[in-house]
Amino acid sequence: MTPAVLLLHGFTHTGASWDPVVTALGERYRAIAPDIRGHGSASNREPVTLEAVLADIEAISPERFTLVGYSMGGRIALHAALAMPERVERLIMIGASPGIADPAGRDERERDDARLADEIERSSIEEFAERWAATPLLAGVPGEVLARAQADRRRSTPAGLARALRGLGTARLPSLWHRLGELTMPVILVVGERDEKFRATAARMAERMPAAEVVVMPDAGHAVHLEAPARIAQVIAGSSSPERSRRARRA
């Protein structure tokens, strides 16, 4: 039986953002790449809450599967892996974190996200797509990759993205730093070489997990799956060649 992989996109993207990875996987995996509530074809689905999204994931997931998530999708994937560990064979997180543990930091981020959500609602999707593409975290993305990403962002609506930010933003979801040790399945934390912030986060996460490794993708930034889809497909298929750092089980 062909193994299954469930792919969760990041904020402002849709399931179509995984198309190059799915193409690179070929027939090795049966790929499922849904639009998360607030995005693309699910722009009008409500409520946009973690509980509703986890229910969506559970409904479309096979009996056993590899779970992959990028950024916001990585945070959601972490929640899903903890909610149904008996079904997730492997967890692969790309440029993702377990959230914000510091209460003051969470409050500040929630205020920032609320302001941004209000601004998104006052913008056209074209205006917001241009603004989001200019964020420092996404700097250095090659032109053709950026063009595909912008076309993908235009599949969503300002109202849907605002709801997603309010319901699924970093500060909105509970921090899971204290639960990383509960993950019993193999975990791969993928980060781009240029993404210094998330490289540091991945190293901290791996130290708290029983069976985790960090994969650093050379010449890539935050959105590794957009810049290097073939290499992400190699990681999913278990034959990656980038720099890997295995973390042993902590006593």
CA 58 to chain centre: 17
- Decide: 61 and 85 in contact? Cβ < 8 Å: no
Question: What dotted CATH number matches 4-247?
Answer: 3.40.50.1820
Say if strands 187-192 and 88-94 run parallel, antiparallel, or are unpaired: parallel
pLDDT at 241: 43
Domain chopping of the chain, boundaries: 4-247
CA 125 to chain centre: 21
Q: What is the pLDDT along the chain (251 residues), one digit of tens a residue?
A: 899 999 999 999 999 999 999 999 999 999 999 999 999 999 999 999 999 999 999 999 999 999 999 999 999 999 999 999 999 999 999 999 999 999 999 999 999 999 999 999 999 999 999 999 888 888 788 889 999 999 999 999 999 999 999 999 999 999 999 999 999 999 999 999 999 999 999 999 999 999 999 999 999 999 999 999 999 999 999 854 445 544 432 22
CA–CA gap between residue 101 and residue 49 (Å, rounded): 19
pLDDT at 248: 34
Residue type, 62: P
Give the three-class secondary structure for 23: helix
Burial class (CB in 10 A: 0-12, 13-18, 19+), 89: middle
